Amino acid sequence: MLRTTDPHGTAIVRSGRLRLNDPPEAVRAAIDAARDVPVAQVLDADELPIVTLLGCDRFSLVERRLRVAVRPAFRIDLADRAPVAPQVEEMPELTFVQVARALAAELEAGFRAELLLRPDPEPAASLRARHGSPPVEARPLGDGSVRFAVGHAAATLYPDGERALRLVCVGSEVRDGRQFADRYAPLTGARYVFVPDEVARLAGDIRAFLAHRWERFTRLP
């Protein structure tokens, strides 16, 4: 997954299981008609979407990979083989902004237009930029946070020193006829250091919360 105005930027690599959402005939009909409906998904081990493909996406084959051109600044390559992990000495030292950019690509690939960002850590590569619209936030939020939301579920990243971040999730639901907003934290911990395994865990936790899989979280007082 590459979401950047630089086509040679750093890609986000994930592996999962490809599932067609409909019988093959319906998938082909949706692609031929360029319909804006999901036709397939790549799911992680928890059956949560890493990538959602739409019938209106532009598909092509590039070096034996299925390339999905979401827009000029965002593409997804699918390969039927295990990803090759970069060598430790080849991995750059990550920063809060780089982690947020990687998450923006991964979460938009999974949730597509349902995902809302405040602010967009890569505004020039956003859907709004494609249509010439200004970003929702022209600069980072006052507390330095980055927020991802789908519907009434939101996950916010807060810097925690130079090499880590904290995740706070807020979800609203109706109980006894009244709407309540509650804060949640992952059962495995809400602090993540900037290493690939922890960033992958963070992405999985955010996907779970935005998909209302809240059994993986504890409600905060």
Does residue 203 carry a pLDDT above 60? Answer: yes
> How would DSSP label each residue in 163-179?
SEEEEEEEEEEEETTEE
Does residue 207 carry a pLDDT above 90? Answer: yes
CATH class, 90-219 region = alpha beta
CATH 3.30.1460 region(s) of the chain? Answer: 90-219
Q: How many angstroms from the chain centroid is the CA of residue 150?
A: 11
Please give the residue that has the higher pLDDT: either 143 or 158: 158
**In contact, 119 and 135? CB cutoff 8 Å:** yes
Q: How confident is the model at residue 83 (pLDDT cuts 50, 70, 90)?
A: low
Candidates 90, 51, 96, 94; CA nearest to 74 is: 51
Q: In the prediction, which pLDDT does 186 show?
A: 96
What DSSP designation does 121 have? S
Q: In the prediction, which pLDDT does 137 show?
A: 67
Q: How confident is the model at residue 221 (pLDDT cuts 50, 70, 90)?
A: confident
Does residue 139 carry a pLDDT above 80? Answer: no
Q: What is the mean pLDDT of the chain?
A: 89
Does residue 13 carry a pLDDT above 80? Answer: yes
